[in-house]
Amino acid sequence: MKKITKRALSGLALAGAASLVLAGCAAAPDASQSAVEQLDYLACGVSDEGSWNDKSFNQSVYEGLTKSRDELGVQIQDAESTTPDDFAPNLQAMIDANCDLTIAVGFNLVDAVNKAAEANPEVNFVTVDGWSNGATNLKPIGYSMNQSSYLAGYLAAAQSASKVVGTYGGMQIPAVTDFMTGFYYGAQAWGADNGTTVKVVGWNPTNETGDFIGDFTPNSGTSKAIAAAQIQAGADVIFPVGGDQFGAVSEAITEAGIDGRMIGVDKDIAATSPEYSKWVLTSAEKRMTNAVYDIIKAIAVDKQAFTGDAYIGTLENGGTALSAITNYTGKQSQADVEAKLEELKAGIIAGDINPLG
């Protein structure tokens, strides 16, 4: 028994060694020049507990960092947080590593990054989804989501057969109602263009009342109940603004047995969550990858001075945009609607159209 084991083991070892030797037969590479000129600029990122591959904002930021490394030639370093205890030490590690710019991702890091910015005035920081308590070396990244939501509302009204569209939010806070207000006026604009009345259920920007889940729990029962009630009220396109509510909305659509659509938020839902793609009309995206890239490029390549002014993602700078349109079955042809959306986008960028009223 013992002998067999020994022989088996030595056989295994031999096989292992052989594969090592075989694998190791390639020629040694020569030192080669990389394509992009390397810059003496160190951009760093600290994730929240979601980690870099969360398919959401952490990942978008990390892609922004790698894009900057590959295209601009800046150096990058990163650290992931696994508990809230890691936030401050991770930021400190970036300061100790002499990072020129440190990006703190997520609302949860807002206290830690404000403290780090105050304690290290010579280092620059960016907070994604956070805010600055006044430090001039801390730049918040924010979004004019009403702009892309306006386009989403216009498209929703064009798609709708019942000319009733719905929207609801996680909580009634400005970051959420910004989407909903843009959506409301976009839908009304389609009605005005086509001489029909479009009804928006779930949000009235004039008296600021609407449907809200009460929290951001993904796909809760409350969320599904709101979606079902809006479908009951005639809505056949729904725009849920509260993170991942797409499971709840798609279930409500399926159970009601209607040919309904939903519009994604933050990322291109049809691509990131293909299981929902058959209901997705489009998504109102926050393109953080672009925001991170633009900020790094402005300082490292264009040598602009760093300021604490917020970076606002707009249609103009590509920080927010609509994803590709899928599953469109409205009466107007998709090409006509897309042409009109381009016109509206130009109008918003030029300032002729106010998505907030």
List residues binding another protein (CB under 8 A): 20-21, 23-29, 44, 49, 77-80, 82-86, 88-90, 92-94, 96-97, 107-108, 111-112, 115, 170-171, 173, 215-216
- Residue 308 CB, nearest approach to another protein (Å): 20
When the beta carbons of 26 and 350 are compared against another protein, the nearer one is 26
Q: If you search the block for the tokens 């959401």, which residue do you land on?
A: 56
Cβ atoms within 10 A of the Cβ of 203, count? 24
When the beta carbons of 112 and 200 are compared against another protein, the nearer one is 112
- According to DSSP, the β-strands at 124-128 and 138-143 are parallel
When the beta carbons of 113 and 315 are compared against another protein, the nearer one is 113
When the beta carbons of 27 and 335 are compared against another protein, the nearer one is 27
C-alpha to C-alpha distance for 100 and 123, rounded to whole angstroms: 6
When the beta carbons of 169 and 205 are compared against another protein, the nearer one is 169
- According to DSSP, the β-strands at 237-241 and 209-210 are unpaired
- Residue 174 CB, nearest approach to another protein (Å): 10
Alpha helices in the chain, H assignment, sequence order: 2-23, 57-72, 87-96, 110-119, 145-159, 174-194, 221-232, 246-256, 269-272, 288-300, 334-350
When the beta carbons of 82 and 333 are compared against another protein, the nearer one is 82
To 10 degrees, the CA torsion angle through 129, 134, 136, 142? 20
- Residue 322 CB, nearest approach to another protein (Å): 25
C-alpha to C-alpha distance for 234 and 165, rounded to whole angstroms: 8
- Residue 107 CB, nearest approach to another protein (Å): 7
- Residue 244 CB, nearest approach to another protein (Å): 14
- Residue 116 CB, nearest approach to another protein (Å): 11
CB 162 within 8 A of CB 139: no
From first CA to last CA, the distance across the chain in angstroms is: 84
